[in-house]
Amino acid sequence: MHYALVFSTSTQPTSIESRSTIKLDASAWLTDLNGHFAFLQPYTNVNWLDPGCAAEIMCQPENSFTAEDTTNNSDFQALRHAAAARHLDVNIVPNNERQKKLLIADMDSTIITSESLDDLAEMAGIGDEVAAITQKSMSGEIDFENSLLERVAMLRGQSNRLFSNLIAAAELTPGAIVLVRTMRANGAKCYLISGGFDFMTRPVAALCGFHDHHANHMHVDAGKILGTVETPVLDRKAKASYLAHYCNIHNIDITEAVTIGDGANDLAMLKAAGMGVAFSGKPILRDTISIQLNHTDLRGLLYLQGYHKDSFISG
């Protein structure tokens, strides 16, 4: 099978000034790593997807190589470790059907830069207590539903004006709008599926251009947060169910879907999709999900699909 070996970064992009410099940069960028990826049997020269930020090399490794299991491949892990030391992500994806027809994205710490419930608690003056529970939940140490109900209960009696404050303070992750609008322009269906709350997914989805959004709903009465959530809670299983649902209604094979998220709540949908991507993933994802973006913003998901910068649709 033919694969694309993709190197990318947003952390320390290479500086380029002219076309001749691009070639020199490509050589300098990858020469030190060449010995680490020789086992993948590369057969093309480097191709820049985004000069200075993303490049790909076509490979045809031995039949025993399995791209879905690189977390257990010592040679690939050595390559990834060497690339990470240079602030680079390295991933390998099948070269066929790279451009996906369906995007399912997590919101907190993926499409936006922070955990919205933690930020809401911070505004309410109970940030440390809630954040500690969130950390355990996202790492898979405690059950997501129980942790969500516990954290929301701690907000009981707070004004729902905090919702507007939170929306105003939220920041999109760099590349979020470009990711969604570029995929939509190329015919993909895009959905924001969050274990967070719909008061936040609604404006975020609209700003980025998602077709629709799904999240939990926090009960409010007379301007006060009641400390309860509509059930059933949107959890790990629900995210995977939405993936299957949208594949079904759009007649898209699950191999043609891409999912992206950062925590334990995203694990099932990342494993199920044709391309599941851990975005600055918690340890549970880094240990189990083969495709990882740790040094690249959300444009990295476009590079993985073979998009060139010239085809990006900006906000």
Q: Which residues are catalytic?
A: 106, 108
Helix axes 161-169, 116-123, angle to 10 degrees: 120
User: Token match 């959300």: residue?
Assistant: 298
d(CA 33, CA 30): 5
Using CA atoms, how far residue 15 sits from 25, 140, 175, 292, 314, in Å, is 8, 39, 19, 24, 22
CB 69 within 8 A of CB 290: yes
Region class of 310: left (phi > 0), else alpha (psi between -120 and 50), else beta? alpha
Residue 50, H or E segment: strand 47-50
* 3-state SS class at 107: helix
Q: CB count, 10 Å around CB of 32?
A: 12
